[in-house]
Amino acid sequence: MAAEGGWTQAEVRELKPNRYMIIDGEPCKIVSITTSKPGKHGEAKARIEAIGVFDGQKRSVVHPVKHKVQVPMINKGTAQVVSIMGDEVQLMDMSTYEMFTVPIPDEFKDALEPGKEIQYLEALGRRKITRA
């Protein structure tokens, strides 16, 4: 079931570490999931620890295992560095030739140069360089 804004729904019990989910409107990579046994009247609950893809913040949520959560559609692509402008880099997607600009993550500050190919991730309309 696809929805507007680039996400789908999944039950908590279908989630796995290293997959993604949306917490507080932020796409997050799941680090760990721990499940508790059902209580006397309740159902099993899952505690999910995740890290924000774009902001790097740790987040944790607790939901019943049958609860539906939003899962972002993650697109990965390859792009070529066109130019570097201060803290931002202009990229051209290698398959669509679309041009776009993203901030340069600290870990790639010295690795980017015009003509070099990088890999990026796109979620909820935002992009981030993942490998240079």
Residues 47-99: tens digit of each pLDDT:
999 999 999 999 999 999 999 999 999 999 999 999 999 999 999 999 999 99
Nearest to 68 by CA among 127, 131, 14: 14
Comparison of pLDDT for 27 and 37, the residue scoring more = 27
Q: Is the pLDDT of residue 128 over 90?
A: yes
For the entire predicted model, the pTM comes to: 0.86
Comparison of pLDDT for 1 and 10, the residue scoring more = 10
Nearest to 61 by CA among 8, 105, 25: 25
83 with 116: CB under 8 angstroms? no
Q: Is the pLDDT of residue 4 over 80?
A: no
Q: Is the pLDDT of residue 39 over 60?
A: yes
pLDDT of residue 5: 64
Which pair of tokens denotes residue 40? 């006397």
- Write down the mean pLDDT value for the chain: 94
- Tell me how long the chain is: 132
Poorest-pLDDT segment among 9-13, 14-18, 42-46, 69-73: 42-46
